[in-house]
Amino acid sequence: MGLFLLLLAACAGGPGDPGAVPAERFYQSAYGKIDELYLEPVDMRRLVVDGLIHAGMVIPSLTVTVQPGGGAITLAVGSRSPRTFALPDSPEASAWAHFAATVTDWTAAQAPDQAPASQTRESLYRALLEGGTADLDPYSRYSVPAAARTERSRREGYIGIGVTLEETPRGFRVIAIAPGSPASTAGLWVGDLITTVGGLPVDAAGGGAALTVEGVMSRLSGPEGTGVPVRVARGGTTLTLLISRQRIILPTVTAERAGAVGVLHVSRFNAGTADALAATIHRLRDTDAGSGPPTGWVLDLRGNTGGLLDQAVAVADLFLTSGPILTTVGRHPDSMQHYDATPGDILDGAPLVVLADGQTASSAEIVLGALVDGGRALDVGTTSFGKGVVQTVAPLPNGGELFLTWSRIMTPAGRMFDHQGLAPAICTSGQTDAGAILAPLRAQPRPNPGISGAAAACPAERDRPAAVDLRVAEDLLTNPPLLRRAQLAGQTLLADQPSATEGASGLP
């Protein structure tokens, strides 16, 4: 089994022509993986029939009718003669894969002459899996080959030069360059127009076909370490740059220093996040030697919708010296996982505040739960999104991918937060005045538990104003007695919660 993940994982690519994959092979792979990996046992009959019904709604020329009694289904393509297919009398995924392949091959053969059979097959692959996985849960889904390639590059990186392009009438304009990428090192500029790649024009000059943006990016890709000559128009001149292809991992970590506080922003969790965060912390410590290292830190996970599970574990482990990080439970034996911290705290025990909002989800919630339950951090903000399940990504023969929910997450304290989220120790929902938020802590030695609360009392909010949450965190980190009161309030509330063995899966 490959990487476990929240939303994303690493998978191998597929063949170049998705339509060349035989339907039987495609469905055997897809339905077999759903049957094996999904969190709960799957009714294959419902999955396939609902997929076909969905196909009848999204493919204009296709009409799908379930016969009375539900034992057969009739398909018609345009004005051609319909055909009725008996549904398998078997719960086995293989039987339903054979049925779906038979239906797909027949439909492709009926397609109009101007619609290639390979396109019809791929449309049916997509429709049957989109309609079927919609029955499972909000997170299980099918990703078509083109989208799967993009998603793989976001989570695992890609081999290229590190540019983003847009098509214009004059060529392909560079609209963004990844910092530190080969394109940046070679001297490519934003605004440059790419006219040739590898000595070949990107437009229709010379009788060749004009390329799409994807076609240009494909030419820019190649074996890692090889060079590609790129000719660009810049102002009134042209120049050719030899650019080395390297693995590009999109940046997910930024940071700044606010006086004595170091502020770390993590936007997602991809293959480079934990290493990038560690490097950023070390760099922030060394940028202003005269002031010394930050005495407190903020880990900003607002807007972080998730990413790779192994990176979430690695990020939490940076700050924890021992104890559990999370446990996952599911139907498949490999979905039962437990992760513990290893010795060493990259902050050497300096106080830490984590910011979360209604877009903090999945792997970001793993980090949040691990640091709070482990007593390592105080959380400030609003209740998080509440995606407490793990997906595994299954590669398909056509280059597409299946994202399948296969386990549930428990925080170190045994909390399950799916559909509920994790409520913060200090709630800022609906508030913009940091002083008012912290007033209950300042007013009494023993804080009013009302400053914290259940998810219902601290509703999730998206796109939080950055100023108030950061101000609260900075005020706490620069006032140790105030921070201690807030920590005690959070501990009191946590102790008041029922344990997981008592059937509680509510307030974190």
Annotated catalytic residues are 362, 373, 387
For residue 11, what are the contacts with CB-CB under 8 A and spacing of at least 6? 2, 148, 152, 393, 394, 395, 401
DSSP string over 191-247: TPEEEEETTEESSSGGGPPPPPHHHHHHHH--STT-EEEEEEEETTEEEEEEEE-EE
C-alpha distance from residue 341 to each of 17, 49, 263, 319, 354 (Å) = 44, 45, 23, 9, 18
First to last CA, the chain: 31
With beta carbons less than 8 A apart as the criterion, state whether 182 and 162 touch. yes
Query: For 83, which DSSP code?
Result: E
For residue 177, what are the contacts with CB-CB under 8 A and spacing of at least 6? 162, 163, 164, 183, 184, 188, 189, 190
- Token look-up 């019809």 returns 120
Tokens of 263: 């502020």
Spatial separation of the C-alpha atoms in residues 102 and 113, rounded to whole Å: 20
Alpha helices, H only, 85-229: 93-110, 117-133, 145-156, 182-186, 213-220
For residue 277, what are the contacts with CB-CB under 8 A and spacing of at least 6? 253, 264, 266, 315, 318
CA torsion 234-239-242-247 (nearest 10°) is: 10
The candidate with the shortest Cα–Cα distance to 362, out of 413, 311, 318, is 311
Spatial separation of the C-alpha atoms in residues 238 and 196, rounded to whole Å: 11
Spatial separation of the C-alpha atoms in residues 406 and 409, rounded to whole Å: 10
The candidate with the shortest Cα–Cα distance to 329, out of 411, 413, 405, 407, is 407
